[in-house]
A and B are shown apart, each in its own frame.
Chain A
Amino acid sequence: MTFTEYFPIETFDALVIGAGGAGMRSALQLTEDGHKIAMISKVFPTRSHTVAAQGGVNAALGNVTPDKWEWHMYDTIKGSDFLGDQDAIEFMCREASEIVRELEHFGVPFSRLDNGKIYQRAFGGQSQNYGEEQAHRTCAAADRTGHAILHSLYQQNLRLGTTFYDEFYAVDLLKNQDEEINGVLVMNIHNGEYKILQSPHILLATGGAGQVFRNNTNASINTGDGLGMVLRAGYPLQDMEFWQFHPTGVSGKGMLISEAVRGEGGKLRNALGEAFMEKYAPRVKDLASRDVVARAIAIEVNEGRGCGPDKDYVLLDISHIPNEIITERLPGIREISQTFLGIDPVKEPIHVYPTCHYMMGGIPTNIEGQVVSPDQDGNQQPIKGLYAIGECACVSVHGANRLGGNSLLDIVVFGRKTARTIHETLQKEPPQTELKLNLTPVVNRLNRWLKKAEEGSTDTVTQIKKDLQLVMERGCGVFRDEPTMQKALVELDAIQARLEKVCISDFSNVFNLERLSAYELENLITIGYATVVSALARTESRGAHSRVDYTERDDDNWLKHTLYFQDNHKLTFKPVNLSPKHHAMVKPKPRVY
């Protein structure tokens, strides 16, 4: 069989693709505003990766230490190594207190202080009064804050009756005869049937793509599906060289050990027993920004002070923290440590090493959540009908390095904001008449995976994915330089050539997970290219992008965002926004902790 250009069609006011915290917050708003929407998710909503967020969500509530949104804004800009857009960061930090209280009203079971208010813990890169004393800004539900938020948002969506398409996979964006985005082709994973969901407003909330690296904290579903769709539609990705390597992943495996452990007093130690962060960040030590701590650990290990038979990890020591604090505030961490390392952190330190955690780059958007792309004169223009939020988007509030506790904030702030943008547009515009969609590219793509393997070919989608992850880890990890990245680029070409040849062997229709991983692999490889090409171009070190051959930040040449296009791997650039509306600009200066 082959696919022809006929699929059943359903129409909606708006589509939300991805049921993590960002998508779920948007869907809630759009449903509440009375719109006919569909929430499309490749897994049952509470399986989305927001569920794994541990430490908390930042807001200057001031429940524990004095706080102001202005200080939060300053810390976020400094944390971003000045690449974050200051108007967007300002907006997010101003919204934070209200949106966290709104989450509390939705039922999130935040931990509490004795006075009944929301508990806030210390996290890396947070200060009072523009860089002075440590702030306690991260609102936490023990060390399961993401789970608590995701489940509460799902529950509120159940209350309002949001329409869910669970276990549906979004294959590609569809354009109409005017080259405008006007629908999505989706596959029902339960039976392999495809259908067109048509809508004038499509919101991508598809999450990150940490699966592009071998060692990562991400769920296996984090394959950057929204990013692949956007690149294939001809639009760019922004700042893809910036990947956060979380300092404390379970050594050799990658599961996340929350920054909350250090926030509650945990100390990193090397094989000599030294609390080595004192060398790298004399003032704030273990609570420096994540990029700083990740590099410090990598240096300790590279210089031979790692622990274990292969000297390939460091220790995270919490043995001095009282048992009841660990039981009350870090129960999930204790469970992960016992399950995956066989270590009870109450008695023995946890073995940790940096692991790929978060994608600062993504689909470029403005504060309204509209996807933007440069026109012929280089001006950023919104793409009609296309929106992106959460980790898949780059608005950019995280710049070159995200602060812990800011991603849960990002998803709810821009989730709500973008739903409001869509609501306002829907009120102004008359309902759309049905338009003809161009299905040729996506039909070719579907048919390509119906090919049968040639005699003797043994390559598989799984093997290509493993090789891709290894290429990315070796070629574009915590430390980078020109020769290793050039080599990675050559290896990516070989992987791309294999992708074009490989065939799947399962042609069934019900839960065909091989076909699903083939679609996902196409997305991952495009993300690999976007990362390496952008990282090669940026000849400076900034935030999470550490070049051994260009060790300094270079504001004269590189205080700008990278835009990567799939066509010929073209790069263009756009300026960083330095014009917040309610606060003076935070001037770039050397970043020390």
Chain B
Amino acid sequence: MKFIISRYNPEIDQEPHEQTFELDNALLSSDSMLLDALHLLREQDSSLAYRSSCQEGVCGSDGINVNGKNRLSCVTSLSELGQTVTLRPLPGLPIIKDLIIDMTLFYKQYKAVKPYLETIPLDIEHEHLQTPEERAKLDGAYECIMCGCCSTSCPSFWWNPDQFAGPAALLAAKRFVVDSRDIKHIDRLKELDSPTQTFRCRHIQNCTDACPKGLSPSRAIQELKSIMVKDL
């Protein structure tokens, strides 16, 4: 297989450039993942930089752009990718080295939506009660692994990563807006009711297409808009 990989070492390079690697098909099997191939390529060139950790799609470390689509390398089967694979860092954020991006702005936007439960203090002898139906409202939102595949596929986020929350942070915001235990429902909605937050989303739906966990940030944002109309 042939891999065309975007390389950038800030200590040497002025800008990123492409490097082509060849990998002997004999080293791969029919069920190899892209991450397996990256590990083998690092044996050819130990300076090749990419993040990875859990190797099973739950830690969210290894988002990269694969043949033009944002994906997690550890759960992307090589067999779907053809004989030539083009790898780039996730688009729209600064590159640190090779396939590793600086996610500071992404995390800042996450933090800005106050992604933590706020409740009436309850004595430690009791849990907050929540019906299975109320709990089911969190499904599709709490499972986010913060890999950044969605926000870095969003044109609105590309334009204003410093101002627009982006799909990942808005998905997190929705998770707390719909949590029956949370007491800041209206405050959250008011803060999200802004041209730089919920209403910067144009429902292009790249985010939903990119999410490796099958979540739909676009639908979550649509639901936020409906809740605002109803509750504000």
Residues in A lying within 8 Å of B, measured CB to CB = 43-44, 46-49, 51-52, 98, 101-102, 104-107, 109-118, 141, 144, 147-148, 151-152, 155-156, 158-159, 190, 219-221, 255-256, 332, 335-336, 339-342, 460, 462, 504-506, 508-514
Contact = CB atoms under 8 A, between A and B. Distances in A.
A139 B217 CA distance: 28
Is the interface on chain B under 10, 10 to 19, 20 to 34, or 35 or more residues? 35 or more
Nearest to A341: B31
Nearest to A100: B127
B115 interface: yes
Contacts of A98: 124-125
21 contacts: A46-B146, A47-B61, A49-B59, A51-B145, A52-B59, A98-B125, A101-B124, A101-B126, A105-B128, A109-B138, A112-B132, A144-B58, A219-B53, A219-B59, A220-B55, A256-B56, A332-B58, A342-B31, A462-B46, A505-B46, A509-B11
B122 interface: yes
Contacts of A513: 42, 46, 49
B109 to A, nearest CB: 12
B193 interface: no
Given A105-B122, A151-B142, A51 B59 contact: yes
Interface string B33-74: 000000000110011010111111111110000000000000
B117 A510 contact: no
A191 to B, nearest CB: 9
B52 A190 contact: no
B135 interface: yes
Given A144-B143, A158-B116, A101 B125 contact: yes
Nearest to B115: A155
B129 interface: yes
Contact of B31 (A43, A158, A340): A340
B9 A510 contact: yes
B100 interface: yes
Nearest to A141: B142
Given A101-B124, A144-B143, 19 more contacts: A46-B59, A47-B54, A49-B53, A98-B124, A112-B132, A117-B127, A117-B129, A141-B142, A144-B58, A148-B142, A151-B142, A219-B54, A220-B52, A339-B57, A462-B42, A462-B43, A462-B46, A510-B11, A513-B49
A111 B131 CA distance: 9
**10 closest Cβ pairs, A-B complex:** A107-B117, A116-B129, A155-B116, A506-B47, A514-B46, A47-B59, A159-B116, A219-B54, A219-B53, A511-B49
Contacts of B124: 98, 101-102, 105
A112 B122 CA distance: 18
B58 A51 contact: yes
Nearest to B40: A462
Given A114-B132, A116-B130, A342-B31, A47 B47 contact: no
B43 to A, nearest CB: 6
B103 interface: yes
Nearest to B111: A158
B132 A113 contact: yes
Contacts of A49: 53-54, 59
Contacts of A141: 142
B145 A221 contact: no
A341 to B, nearest CB: 8
A508 B9 contact: yes
Interface in B84-114: 96-98, 100, 103, 107, 111, 114
B97 A511 contact: yes
Contact of A511 (B54, B100, B115, B135): B100
B119 interface: yes
A16 to B, nearest CB: 19
Given A112-B135, A151-B142, A511-B96, A335 B57 contact: yes
Given A101-B127, A113-B132, A156-B116, A43 B56 contact: no
A114 to B, nearest CB: 6
Contacts of B179: 107, 109
* Among B116, B127, B129: residue with most chain A CB under 10 A: B127
Nearest to B135: A112
B117 A506 contact: no
B133 to A, nearest CB: 9
Nearest to B118: A159
Contacts of B122: 105
A153 to B, nearest CB: 10
Given A98-B124, A114-B132, A156-B116, A504 B46 contact: yes
B46 A506 contact: yes
A112 B142 contact: no
Contacts of B11: 508-510
A256 B58 CA distance: 12
Contacts of B55: 219-220, 255
Contacts of A155: 115-117
B4 interface: no
Nearest to B102: A190
Contacts of A144: 58, 143
Nearest to B123: A101
Contacts of A113: 132
A159 B142 CA distance: 17
Given A51-B59, A514-B47, A107 B116 contact: yes
* Among B114, B115, B142, B146: residue with most chain A CB under 10 A: B142
Contact of A339 (B10, B47, B75, B125): B75
Contacts of A159: 114, 116
Interface in B13-44: 31, 42-43
Contacts of A156: 116
Nearest to A104: B127
Contacts of B126: 101
A44 B130 contact: no
B42 A46 contact: no
